[in-house]
């Protein structure tokens, strides 16, 4: 019995020592992050970490106390109520010695945010940094799909430089609720509120203005001049309209149609350029703000994960759209 208690005490001592080292590493990593290093230098620093590697919090005491409490509760139900006080004591003891993981979670989130913002040169939107200027979602006729609720949340904002033009952009999530007939848990039809999420971009200074291309027939998206391109397949898939026939002819050239169709195949939805401000709104069902999560139980594992961290949908979307803007700035006869 004495040997058993010695082993338990040794395990608890090792846990406390391990957690103290982890907390020191968290503090060191926080100081490194505060230096605002470029992402590649940050990864290099992590790969060449000279101190101890551990970056996880152990809670052997908490989990063992929890298991012991559950056993005592079971014995209390089936054998004697005198086991219940031991269960209560074990619960209090476990929570008293539980090591918090909040600092580690916060650090990983801050590193992840910092890395994404510097890798893609944007900012995650907050109440403090949300841009007030520019075109808003209310300027477009695309955000009235919900008969119960419609809300647009800006998630990311930044600027792209394409040739000589700066394009401020905002990535958003559009949440709407429809009251409609749907199957319930029993497989029967009933009237219920159904939530939907769409994603998209509002981009300033698009090279043309007054163009609408929709994957469905939508009255709200139609501009003054209905149009059909030279591509029969494209006409079958998309509703097209604009405000000027000559501009539509120039914009919907065969080469540009291929790029536009590729973009709408990858990110199906609505493509709408405001007729007055030339701001583009592209609304899609692809989650543009999905992030791969940062993890690591050691500093080296953290570096490896950080090296492959990405937002694949946003990255693909940004490349396609910037390429399309670049091609659109080239005059077409």
Q: Is 321 left (phi over 0), alpha (psi -120 to 50) or beta?
A: alpha
pLDDT tens digit sequence for 17-41: 888 889 999 999 999 999 999 999 9
Tokens of 124: 């995650």
pLDDT tens digit sequence for 86-106: 788 878 777 776 778 889 999
Q: How confident is the model at residue 233 (pLDDT cuts 50, 70, 90)?
A: confident
pLDDT of 173 above 80: yes
Give the residue-averaged pLDDT of 179-190. 78
Tokens of 36: 């605002």
pLDDT tens digit sequence for 42-68: 999 999 988 888 888 877 777 777 887
Q: How confident is the model at residue 11 (pLDDT cuts 50, 70, 90)?
A: low
The predicted pLDDT at position 333 comes to: 46
Tokens of 200: 């998209």
Please state the pTM of the whole predicted model.
Answer: 0.84
pLDDT tens digit sequence for 235-246: 888 888 888 888
The predicted pLDDT at position 309 comes to: 94
pLDDT of 228 above 90: no
The predicted pLDDT at position 8 comes to: 64
The predicted pLDDT at position 255 comes to: 84
- Cβ distance 217 to 254 under 8 Å? no
Give the residue-averaged pLDDT of 167-186. 87
The predicted pLDDT at position 156 comes to: 94
The predicted pLDDT at position 29 comes to: 93
Q: 251 versus 9: which is more confidently predicted?
A: 251
The predicted pLDDT at position 217 comes to: 56
pLDDT tens digit sequence for 204-222: 999 988 888 887 656 667 7
The predicted pLDDT at position 55 comes to: 87
Buried residues in 224-257 as b, exposed as e (16+ CB within 10 A) = ebebebebeebeebbbbbbbbeeebeebbbeebb
Tokens of 8: 């338990």
The predicted pLDDT at position 135 comes to: 87
The predicted pLDDT at position 115 comes to: 95
Give CA angle at 175 (171, 177), nearest 5°. Answer: 165
pLDDT tens digit sequence for 138-167: 889 889 888 899 999 999 999 999 988 999
- 125: helix, strand or coil: coil
Q: How far apart are CA 296 and CA 302, in angstroms?
A: 4
Nearest to 60 by CA among 22, 11, 24, 106: 11
E runs forming strands in 184-305:
189-203, 211-214, 225-227, 239-242, 269-273, 280-284
Domain ranges in the chain? 2-122, 123-328
Q: What are the backbone dihedrals phi and psi of residue 194, each rounded to the nearest 5 degrees, phi first?
A: -115, 130
- Cβ distance 39 to 118 under 8 Å? yes
């Amino acid at each position: 019995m004495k040997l058993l208690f010695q082993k338990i005490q040794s395990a608890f001592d090792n846990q406390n020592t391990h957690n103290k080292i982890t907390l020191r590493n968290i503090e060191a990593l926080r100081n490194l992050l505060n230096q605002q290093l470029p992402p590649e230098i940050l990864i290099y620093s992590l790969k060449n970490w000279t101190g101890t590697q551990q970056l996880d919090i152990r809670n052997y005491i908490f989990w063992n106390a929890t298991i012991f409490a559950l056993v005592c509760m079971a014995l209390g139900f089936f054998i004697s109520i005198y086991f219940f006080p031991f269960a209560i004591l074990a619960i209090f003891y476990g929570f008293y010695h539980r090591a918090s993981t909040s600092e580690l979670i916060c650090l990983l989130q801050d590193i992840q945010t910092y890395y994404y913002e510097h890798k893609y040169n944007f900012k995650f939107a907050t109440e403090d940094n949300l841009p007030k200027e520019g075109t808003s979602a209310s300027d477009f006729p695309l955000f009235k799909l919900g008969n119960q609720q419609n809300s647009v949340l800006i998630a990311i904002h930044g600027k792209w430089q394409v040739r000589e033009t700066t394009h401020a952009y905002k990535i958003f999530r559009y949440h709407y609720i429809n009251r409609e007939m749907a199957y319930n848990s029993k497989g029967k039809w009933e009237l219920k509120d159904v939530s939907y999420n769409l994603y998209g971009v509002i981009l300033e200074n698009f090279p043309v203005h007054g163009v609408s291309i929709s994957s469905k027939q939508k009255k709200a998206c139609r501009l003054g001049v209905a149009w059909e391109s030279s591509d029969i397949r494209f006409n079958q898939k998309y509703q097209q309209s604009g405000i000027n026939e000559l501009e539509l002819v120039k914009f919907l050239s065969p080469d540009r149609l291929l790029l536009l169709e590729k973009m709408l195949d990858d990110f199906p939805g609505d493509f709408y350029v405001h007729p007055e401000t030339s701001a583009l709104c592209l609304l899609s069902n692809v989650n543009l703000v999905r992030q791969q999560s940062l993890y690591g139980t050691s500093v080296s594992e953290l570096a490896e994960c950080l090296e492959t961290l990405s937002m694949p949908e946003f990255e693909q979307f940004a490349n396609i759209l910037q390429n399309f803007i670049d091609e659109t700035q080239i005059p077409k006869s």
